[in-house]
Structure 1
Amino acid sequence: MPRPNRPLRSHLPRRPARLRVDPFIAALLGTVAVAALLPARGAAAPAFSDAATGAVAVLFFLYGARLSAREAWEGLKQWRLHGTVLAVTFGLFPLLGVAAHLLVPTVLSPQLYQGLLFLTLLPATVQSSIAFTSIARGNTAAAVCSATFSSLFGIVLTPLLAAVLLHTEGGVSPGTVLEIAEQLLLPFAAGQVLRPWIAAWTARHRAVLGLVDRGSILLVVYSAFSAAVVGGVWSALSLPRLAALLGVEAALLGLVLTATLLVGRRLGFGRGDVVAIVFCGSKKSLASGVPMAAVLFPGAAAGLVVLPLMLFHQLQLMVCAVLARRWGAQAEGAGATAQPAAVQALDPVA
């Protein structure tokens, strides 16, 4: 039966809502401002450093307690899709990061390049990857599994890649991998072991634990940026360098978004799967990156290392929000249902 006529306006893509700064990014910027004006000095500095170390352990314990291993293993049925996302996250991204060394020192300072390379080694985000895939009417179930696998593999692969690639930059030594295992893997494993007993409790208190997550990250950021201020690291940062960094990160994000879209098509994935690959493969996790940076780059160096990640995080949210709304409007206009298979022939960027 033919569809009833609808107003012309309903056939047009929805106009994107005005972009807003992520509240958490605003809190991070506020924390950086406080660290710049009132950095932890003297006896307070070690206290904040120890508190940040404890916050990192709490973060990864909660990650382990929340991750359902059973759901992750069930998602292995779509191994081609997950393998594609992992190859982009831990293969293509690091290769682009290594290639960016050609921009040192003319475009990027060595310190900023170190932070840029570090962000290319991180796993994908979980929440935003899933949310954007859902908004774009993609394969949300696949996005859940891919983002989960990325986070799980990142706990091991990110420190290993950092030990290999950042060692030449003077930031990480191979011996740091053992320290990573102690500070990240052990709390994560403890959370997994205790999950059968505390999973229901964490689900009931999700809002409170979310505040604990964000508060822990803010504490780590304050400690890192305080050390950077006291150590005089910010003297290496100028406005032209900051603008150049934003330009490089925009190019990096554009390359990866294009590559994931083309690779997904070339490998014969349906429209819903391509959407999941694009949004899971193009993200880098701030929640994982900040605590990892605190372990890998103790002291003043962590401040400039975290800065490129903070900027890239906001950039990826803004760009992917526009893409997700546009693709979702196109899918709705084409009569797509909640099942991605119904619109496999739809081009997400048409």
Structure 2
Amino acid sequence: MTRVLTVFDPMVRLLVLAILLASVLPATGGQRDIAQAVSNGAIFLLFLLNGLRLSRDQVRRGIGHWQFLLPLAIWCFGAMTLMGKGFAIAMAPVLPPMVALGFLFLGALPSTVQSATAYTSLADGNVANSVVAAALLNVMGVFLTVPIFAAMGGGSAAELGMDGLVKIVAILVVPFAIGQVLQVRLAPWIGDHRALITWMDRLSIAIAVYVAFSAAVEQGLWARVGAAEWLVLLAGVVAMLGAAFGAAWAIGRMLALDIADRIAFLFAGAHKSLAMGAPLASVLFPPAAAGMILLPLLVYHLLQLMVSAPLASRLARRPRQAPDCCG
């Protein structure tokens, strides 16, 4: 478990490889259309698998625990979106517009499923709540992230026209619904092939990142974002990550959650999902814009893994009578 939950996680290595490959051998011209078609197919598969994995019993249990889920959803889609908006405004004078807008996109995304649950387990938190909450937040994210982002982003955000709505339904909603329909029949197969399913997830995300970055590289990504801008971007992401972890822990305390539920709230509340962000960006934005908008999310994703590993270990070693570890 500890080995997987490090910056050397296979997903991180795949993302680095995708970015390097896009920088050296970007998909351009006719190749970009082929790559985009492959990416759309991979995204369809990703959400089909998500639908297959989330059982209906999990959905029912998650909805039933509204005292935990409702504040988490308000935090994730409300407060974090406002936080992202604030960082986007603060970053706008010093970063390219699409990169600054990426902070708002980051804030409007749901939590991760796999890593938030894994770190909750490592920290001896409530794994059942973490699994159900993170999964339901991702389902909600399909319907909430885009309109929230469009409303908060103003004229600089993507407008969700009929074409965009059709793409979201066809590539994200339909495969998830198919997965739910087939879930009972195929759940045993999913359980027997967890390693294969995990790699299919990772490859789908990496393909979406490669396609987005290929177009951004073609538009001069590395020339438009210089060393100074990268430092500003890193500082902004570190500040947002610190605020997210600190506030999520404080909210768990204010809600009087027990320590196991506070840990689940912490990781589900502070993590942001690249598995949702990369496909959404590729569906919503032109490829060149998608690569720029994804930059804050990619940096955040790496840093949340780096922060979560030692934090989860510290929480696991906590004295049971003194649960307050994060301030």
Whether these two folds match at TM > 0.5 is yes
Following the alignment from structure 1 to structure 2, what is the Cα–Cα distance between the partners of residues 263 and 33?
Answer: 39
**Distance in 1 (alpha carbons) for counterparts of 2:137 and 2:258:** 21
Q: For residues 13-52 of structure 1, what are the structure 2 equivalents within 5 Å? A: 20-52=7-39
- C-alpha separation in 2, matches of 1:104 and 1:136: 34
Q: Which amino acid aligns with 1:127?
A: Q
Q: Counterparts of 1:346 and 1:229 in 2: how far apart (Å)?
A: 46
Instruction: Provide the rounded CA distance (Å) in 2 between the counterparts of 1:234 and 1:317.
Output: 25
Aligned length, in residue pairs: 324
Is the 8 Å Cα contact of residues 241 and 270 (structure 2) preserved in structure 1? yes
The within-5 A match list for 1:1-350 is 20-175=7-162, 176-330=164-318, 334=319, 336=320, 346-349=323-326
Specify the code of the residue in structure 2 equivalent to 1:100. F
CA contact (8 A) 2:6 2:305 kept: no
Q: Percent identity?
A: 37
CA contact (8 A) 1:56 1:183 kept: yes
Q: Displacement, 1:267?
A: 1.9
TM-score by length of 2: 0.92
The RMSD of aligned alpha carbons is: 2.1
Deviations 1:256-303 (A, max 9, x none): 211112221122211221111111100101111111111011321111
Asked if 1 retains the 8 angstrom alpha-carbon contact of 2:88 and 2:103, the reply is: no
Shift of 1:325: 0.5
Residue 39 of structure 1 aligns to a residue whose secondary structure is coil
Runs of 4+ in 1 over 4 A off after TM superposition: none
Per the TM alignment, residue 81 of structure 1 is displaced from its structure 2 partner at its CA by 1.2
Q: 2:53–2:183: 8 Å Cα contact kept in structure 1?
A: yes
Query: What is the one-letter code of the residue matched to 2:218?
Result: V
| Letter aligned with residue 54 of structure 1 | G
Larger radius of gyration: 1
Partner-residue secondary structure (3-state), 2:279:
helix
Partner Cα separation in structure 2 for residue 91 and residue 306 of structure 1: 20
Q: Which runs of 5+ in 2 are unaligned?
A: none
User: When the two structures are superposed, what TM-score results if normalisation uses the length of structure 1?
Assistant: 0.87
State the Cα distance separating 1:170 from its structure 2 match: 4.1
The structural deviation recorded for 1:107 is: 3.1
Distance 1:219 1:228 in 2: 14
Change (3 A) 1:251 1:272: same
Q: Distance in 2 between matches of 1:86 and 1:103?
A: 25
Deviations 1:127-173 (A, max 9, x none): 11111112222222211221122111111111221232235214333
Segment of structure 1 superposing worse, 143-152 or 96-105: 96-105
Displacement of 1:19 in angstroms is: 5.8
Question: What residue identity is the alignment partner of 1:285?
Answer: S
Letter in 2 for 1:247: A
In structure 2, what is the Cα distance between the partners aligned to 1:282 and 1:259? 9
- Name the CA distance, whole Å, in 1 between partners of 2:28 and 2:229: 27
Q: Secondary structure at the match of 2:317?
A: helix
Q: Tell me the SS of whatever aligns to 1:214.
A: helix
Letter in 1 for 2:210: Y
SS in 2 for 1:41: coil
Cα distance in structure 2, aligned partners of 1:264 and 1:34: 41
Give the direction of change, closer, same or farther, for the CA distance of 1:245–1:139 in structure 2 (3 Å limit): same
Code of the residue aligned with 1:348 in structure 2: it is C
